[in-house]
Amino acid sequence: MGLTHSPWHWSLNEGEQHLSHILRDAGYHTALFGLQHEAADVQTLGFEALHAQRGDGGGRCTADEVARVTAEFLKTEAVKRTPFYAQVGFFETHRPFDFGDVTPDDSKGVFVPPFLAENDAIVADLAHYQGALRKADEAVGIITKGLAESGLADNTIIVFTVDHGIPYPRAKGHVYDPGLSIPLIVRWPGGGIQGGKTCDWLLSNVDFLPTLLHLIGEPIPENVQGVSFSGAFGKGKPPRDAIFGFMQSGELRCIRTQHHKLIRNFEPRRLFATPVDVSVSVSSRWPNTAYLVTSEECPAVQLFDLQKDPNEFHNAAEDPNYADIRAELDGRLWAWLEEVGDPILKGPVPTPYYRRLMAEAGRG
């Protein structure tokens, strides 16, 4: 529902298991390298070993520092610790982009997404973002080289993914496609998963856990909401025809199919300008929101035809030609909210901070 660190303080529900708990109980050595975003107290996550930590969950170790420690583990310890699960987290490409020794990278030009205005300020900011991308890519290279030197590369599953879209308005923090779209790269030569294949299936990060457990032959817990997409590595069929997304901090919920997306907005907000002009203020964290929105109120429902309008600029929710599509997607979205027990169905979601305040006041 939200971030685990201060001042948000969200946490896993009682009894919920992290992947590290499941694999540890299955006999795997579980180790965390660098950043994690799943708990305020990393000790609750079930890792047997913590590496590249600096007092705040590893968020202030640079990607190359984390990578070197990971590579050293792979070359010297992994053989003695098999089977093992190593979770590796980088701070890069989080803002500020100049973290560590990251410098801008425009060696191959700068790509400006169509939802951002193209001007000197945004081009410079994107170049710095690309520098952070290069740093993360180089760190992955350090790790894969260490894995190759360990002799374990063929029988080790590597997954590269992230938790949300790029750190720009209309992307991170929203459920437009640039906020939901993330990389996913999987390699396992010994299991027949190697380079040269791409997949256009609709997948969700909740599908990663059952997929991994299926690949390694471990039982999938009954309460898992995701579905295995291991068929993508062979001749299987897509397990989904739609994915669901949400952004608690904005009370947004959505359903996305291959051709359409429907968004429900549960709180008042303004519409984004299109394209967004962030040239007035590009800060180390977020551009000043005064320059990101119009004076127009955001509607409760937005519907986009992704084939005709891939940038999600034109809301078709009130277009009678899309009435049937809206009704179908809206019904599926409400059914999903019921299925997962989304607390938004009972009203605005109280935050952990609110609950703590009320408890301290004797009103909890």
Q: Round to whole Å and give the CA distance between 364 and 362.
A: 6
The dihedral built from the CA positions of residue 293, 297, 303 and 307, taken in this order, carries a sign that is negative
Q: Round to whole Å and give the CA distance between 29 and 239.
A: 30
Are 8 and 2 within 8 A, CB to CB? yes
Same domain (yes/no): 132, 257? no
286 pLDDT more than 60: no
Are 162 and 94 within 8 A, CB to CB? no
What is the share, in percent, of the chain residues with pLDDT greater than 90?
74
Same domain (yes/no): 64, 213? yes
Q: Which of 205, 233, 261 is the last residue of a domain?
A: 233
More confident: 232 or 250: 232
The pLDDT value recorded for residue 274 is 87
Residue 294 is assigned to a structural domain of this protein: yes
166 pLDDT more than 50: yes
Q: Round to whole Å and give the CA distance between 78 and 61.
A: 22
Q: What distances in angstroms separate CA 124 from CA 93, 121, 273, one per listed residue?
A: 15, 5, 21
Same domain (yes/no): 197, 98? yes
| Domain range enclosing 110 | 19-233
Q: Across all residues in the chain, what is the average pLDDT?
A: 91
pLDDT bracket for residue 58 (50, 70, 90)? very low
Same domain (yes/no): 209, 98? yes
Q: Round to whole Å and give the CA distance between 63 and 135.
A: 7
Note if the pTM is more than 0.85.
Answer: yes
